Amino acid sequence: MQNTNTLDAIVIGAGFAGMYQLISLRDKLGLRTRVLEAGSGVGGTWFWNRYPGARCDSESHSYMYYFSKELVQEWEWSERYPQQPEILRYLNHVADKFDLRRDISFDTRVTGANFDEAKNQWVVKTEAGETLRAQFLITAVGCLSSANVPNTPGLDRFAGQWFHTGAWPHEGVDFKGKHVGVIGTGSTGIQAIPMIAKEADHVTVFQRTANYSLPANNAPLTEDFKQYAKAHADEIYEIMTTNGNGHPFHIEKRKAVETPADEIEQIYEAAWQKGGLQFRATFEDLLVSNDANKTAAEFIQRKIRQLIKDPVKAEILADIDHPFAAKRPPIDSNYFDTFNRDNVSLVSLRDAPMQEIVPAGIKTTEKVYPLDIIVFATGFDAMTGSLLKLNIEGLGGRKLNDDWQAGPRTYLGLQIPGYPNLFTITGPGSPSVLCNLPPAIEQHVEWITDCIKHMRTHQLETVQTSDRACDQWQQEVDRAANATLLPQVKHSWYLGANVPGKPRVFMPYAGGLSHYRSICNDVAADGYRGMRFS
């Protein structure tokens, strides 16, 4: 028998975004709110991505909520970059502290959502056959949640085990004595490969595109730093929200193209030793000038060649075909050094493409690599994949999957024309994946909450954006992307290129978080310009 529940708001997803949205709507506005979560616990990305070495590339003191001063003061991170189990502990702590679980339905996958125009309500259906109704629907499904397992012929006949890193078994995987193949050398593969190599008998890395990686220089946090981060929380938050990337550091106001070569070298060397994504912030022109970028690219390629003892492997790893940081730059712990181990080999899929998976392992155009386990570190159907899986239908039964056939179209990454009262946290067209995500999420949640509060105060039932506002915003998204080197990389997931058949549209907003925040604030101050209420 079907169950019908009527609420004020339904939130899909119980990661960083969904949890804060619940706190905001339920506790600040007093709305009857329910969160629907496919997993059996909170955490989103950090619930699913449990592969060995899973760690955040943002520094721990910036990878947290800042909306509650008490929470900032009471939580203590142990390392410079938090590991997945620690982030999951943090999010569980938040769920306990704010008593969130009572309003979250776990193990509840949304299979459809359509807008009932007669009642101005979203009707949300779940896999279990439940139907819920609410005035507002807010997606908090994450940007990197829909696993991309390449459609490789023969996978169903593989005699061993295979796993995607984004849906890792909770009980872990036993690599002891095993021959393991890892496909993919993005942030995930780069984190997982060193850990798997320590345990497995042999690891074969299948690399399609060589990648830059920077040393994380991870370490336990000192007591001094922990105290500093708490004492200066306001200042840190101010930095995170007034720069382009949401990280707790500013981009240096100097240009590589105007700096003498020996000085550039010293600056890069210091940043390399310090470790982390701050390397990207050494010069302000790294992502806008090919000449500037080349100085960083060459420095890192030189480092890679120095780190790898085998010249054949070194060449395959350093043969990078795109500008530095134009794809998401990974940071690592001993990634390159791992290729100096006797039990790690490297296959360049550029030289010998993968043909099929056979029962014994992976077959390239050159040979068959016998394997017991295949790990797909092949990324995600980023930014739109999880949204489109929700089967959302708006006014007149229009389908989001049809409307976005040529690529996502949003207003500010927050609203979609034809879908009233639907808000998309970190949706395509917002800075999202180009930033440290927690401050980007907090800004979206607070903006959405203010908009709903405005509607409640003025007894407004629906809000929707227009095609015109959306087209104008899309032009701004394109302008911002084209002002950088990012769209030059034709095989980047920012452009959807990693998923066959996906339209090639640059999805995140590259104009910077602080600029984006001020645009959103202006829109709200201007009576929610580009949005129509009824």
54 near ligand NA7 (CB under 6 A): no
**Is the CB of 286 or the CB of 354 nearer to ligand NA7?**
354
- In the region spanning residues 344 to 403, those forming contacts with ligand NA7, defined by CB under 6 A, are 349, 354, 377-380
Spatial separation of the C-alpha atoms in residues 460 and 80, rounded to whole Å: 46
Spatial separation of the C-alpha atoms in residues 38 and 439, rounded to whole Å: 24
- In the region spanning residues 421 to 440, those forming contacts with ligand NA7, defined by CB under 6 A, are 433
Give me the residues paired with residue 164 across strands.
Answer: 376
Question: CB of 130 within 8 A of CB of 3?
Answer: yes
**Is the CB of 348 or the CB of 410 nearer to ligand NA7?**
348
> If you compute the radius of gyration of the chain from its CA atoms, what whole number of angstroms results?
23
Of 83, 105, 146, 187, the one binding ligand NA7 (CB under 6 A) is 187
Nearest residue relative to ligand NA7 (C-beta): 186
Q: How far is CA 452 from the centre of its chain?
A: 26
**Is the CB of 371 or the CB of 452 nearer to ligand NA7?**
371
Stretch that binds ligand NA7, among 26-34, 178-186, 357-365, 422-430 (CB under 6 A): 178-186
114 near ligand NA7 (CB under 6 A): no
188 near ligand NA7 (CB under 6 A): yes
Q: How far is the CB of 134 from ligand NA7 (least distance, A)?
A: 30
H or E segment at 304? helix 290-307
Closest of 87, 75, 82, 95 to residue 233, by C-alpha: 75
Q: Dihedral (C-alpha) 349, 351, 352, 353: value to the nearest 10 degrees?
A: 50
Q: How far is the CB of 491 from ligand NA7 (least distance, A)?
A: 5
Q: How far is the CB of 297 from ligand NA7 (least distance, A)?
A: 16
Q: How far is the CB of 487 from ligand NA7 (least distance, A)?
A: 16
209 near ligand NA7 (CB under 6 A): yes
Spatial separation of the C-alpha atoms in residues 486 and 328, rounded to whole Å: 10
Spatial separation of the C-alpha atoms in residues 298 and 465, rounded to whole Å: 45
179 near ligand NA7 (CB under 6 A): no
150 near ligand NA7 (CB under 6 A): yes
Spatial separation of the C-alpha atoms in residues 14 and 48, rounded to whole Å: 12
H or E segment at 226? helix 223-231
**Is the CB of 95 or the CB of 377 nearer to ligand NA7?**
377
On the 0-12 / 13-18 / 19+ scale of CB atoms within 10 A, 478 is: middle
- In the region spanning residues 482 to 511, those forming contacts with ligand NA7, defined by CB under 6 A, are 491, 493, 498
Binding interface with ligand NA7 (CB under 6 A): 144, 150, 183-189, 208-209, 328, 349, 354, 377-380, 433, 491, 493, 498
